Amino acid sequence: MKVKKTDKTRLGIAGFLVSILLFFLVIGAFVSGASTFSGKARSEGEVTLRNAIARATVQCYAIEGRYPPSVEYLEEHYGIQIDRKRYHVFYEGFASNIMPDITVIPAEE
């Protein structure tokens, strides 16, 4: 009878250790996936912001007949929202009738 109790105890400990191992594997996979998703979202955010600024710039040209003088003008009049902690935006306009260069660079954290 003592042999059966010992076998059950050994199986219980082995099952417990396997459960713990599986738990940590699942947690590791989750953290890895979340990290990958975060990196991809960050790079897509950069492209999305640049496209939004370009669309608002063209919309301003269509409505007002000139390209906006600055990004701040787009924020004030066309609803563009820039997270200045995450992105640096460079908006270089040569003339009011030439499409400006728009560059979005992620800020170093």
The model carries a pTM of: 0.64
Whether residue 24 is predicted with pLDDT greater than 80 in this model: the reply is yes
- Predicted local confidence at residue 18, as pLDDT: 84
Domain residues for the domain of 14 are: 2-106
Q: Which pLDDT score is estimated for 7?
A: 56
Question: What residue spans of 65-94 are helical by DSSP H?
Answer: 71-78
- Beta carbons within 10 angstroms of residue 100's beta carbon: 19
The total number of structural domains in the chain stands at 1
Per 3-state DSSP, what percentage of the chain is helix, strand, and coil (rounded to 5)? 65, 10, 25
Average pLDDT over residues 57-79: 93
- Is residue 57 scored above 90 in pLDDT? yes
Which pLDDT belongs to residue 35? Answer: 80
Q: What is the mean pLDDT of residues 45-54?
A: 91
**Tens digit of pLDDT for each residue in 90-109?**
999 888 889 999 999 888 75
Question: Tens digits of per-residue pLDDT, 3-16?
Answer: 455 555 666 787 88
Between CA 15 and CA 4 the distance in angstroms is 16
Distance CA 78, CA 52 (A): 10
Q: Is residue 53's pLDDT more than 50?
A: yes
